[in-house]
Copies of this chain bind each other. A is one copy, B any other.
Amino acid sequence: MTTHALHTDLYQLTMLASYFHQRQHEEPAVCEMFVRRLPKNRRFLVVAGLQRALDYLRGLRFTDAQIEALREVPHLKKAMTPDFVEYLRAFRFTGDVWAMPEGTVAFENEPLVRVAAPLGEAQLIETYLLSTINHATMIASKAARVVLALGGRPALEFGTRRTHPEAAVDVARAAYLAGFEASSNVEAFDRFEVPARGTMAHMYIMASASEREAFRHYGSLFPHSTYLVDTYDTVEGVKVALDAMGTGVSAVRLDSGDLAALSCEVRALLKARGRDEVKIVVSSDLDEYEIVKLTKSGDFDVAGVGTRVATSDDAPALGGVYKLVQIGGRPVAKLSADKVTYPGAHQVYRHEGDGRISFDTLGLVDEASYEVLEATPLLVPAMRAGKPVLDDDLAKARVRCKSQLAKLPEVLRVIERSDEHEHFFEVRPSEQLTRLLESIKAARREAA
């Protein structure tokens, strides 16, 4: 088990030290992670990254080397007293975590994760939790749109080279979770059993004396393969592959040019040759928008998607935040004009009708009102007293995501660009929550 204790913002440690030195670090706190507003071009989120976050919490401790490193931070010098160092040495995450399991469809202002822990612990973990869940949820949410756009055709994730090498492994996992069929990333196969796919690059063809010779060599080792046909001339390349490799050609990949026109031309050629079973794989700067166009004007079976899913390029950051909602049993709220947070510990209740998601209620954890009687609570226990209790894995999350995407109402399935202020889905605060917020506002007015 590795520890990522230093994968954090320095201020988490200065605050932790300050809580400790003022003896506030054990005060019971509740924090929640949520997204205030969906990014532009997103009508829903697919939650991902929880497993990595739970692994972090489980492994969290400060090694001697890490404590020595902290002593070297100029700003921390005065804080590293013997008793605080002792506290760091013994530090473990002992809190409770509730979360939406990976693959859950979520919306704005809904807690994806709720942490109940001593204040010092709840504080320290903020950065890593946000980092891992923001990144993976951003990717899964983008990938889910690609899956919807493909309407049942398989998607392959090829984006490793366009993102950080470690991020790429989690990109492959998040895309698979959201419904991609496979990834080119071999580490993701080893670590998460994400199916690995890939055949050849242009370089392979160029390193050979001819395209035909390259195909022959490749086919002698990999008898049923996808052939990359666009190194010199796409349609000619298909002919070379069919002539040289015959039934060994199970698919052809088109990676440049006018994919709509070329894919139709290639299909006609395949039909003329009686090779209806040969799949056409398209790639090259694809995303959900290009795929929607290609499904109308092109003719393909599989899409390879790289850069744009690996970077979520039309919404490259998810602004998930992590806020204190309760301290020492007292609900707290931020009341600034543009950034209201709801006080108290929350549950999200999902209402469905006719097999579709109809709306969500944001309520309190102990909510038992008529409003949520028929609804499904989305946050489930993930850790109790620092021990993982959620029986989940990537395969289950993928099934969950698929079933939730099938329940999306039509308006959320639309693949059009949209503004971040556009509103497509209703998250209603419960009456009980509304009353609590009003009472806190009234108390604040009185105090002022």
A417 at interface, CB cutoff 8 A = no
Spot the interface stretch: A73-81, A267-275, A348-356: A73-81
Spot the interface stretch: A85-93, A128-136, A366-374, A424-432: A128-136
Contact call B196/A10, Cβ cutoff below 8 A: yes
Contact call A203/B79, Cβ cutoff below 8 A: no
Contact call A221/B131, Cβ cutoff below 8 A: no
Q: Per a CB cutoff under 8 Å, which of B8, B135, B231 touches A164? A: B135
Output the residue of A4, A17, A134, A162 with the most chain B CB within 10 A: A162
CB distance from A99 to the nearest CB of B (A): 17
Docked complex Cα distance between A311 and B126 (Å): 19
- State the oligomeric state as a number of copies: 2
Interface size on A, residues (CB 8 A): 96
Docked complex Cα distance between A212 and B247 (Å): 78
Which residues in chain A, 176-202, are within 8 Å of chain B measured between CB atoms? 184-187, 189-190, 196-202
Contact call A131/B332, Cβ cutoff below 8 A: no
Contact call A22/B78, Cβ cutoff below 8 A: no
Contact call B119/A134, Cβ cutoff below 8 A: no
Least CB separation from A22: chain B residue:
B217
Given A10-B186, A127-B160, 20 other A-B residues pairs in contact with their CB atoms under 8 A: A4-B187, A7-B160, A7-B186, A14-B198, A15-B200, A18-B221, A27-B207, A29-B207, A70-B186, A75-B196, A75-B199, A127-B161, A135-B167, A164-B164, A164-B170, A167-B167, A206-B334, A308-B317, A310-B317, A311-B311
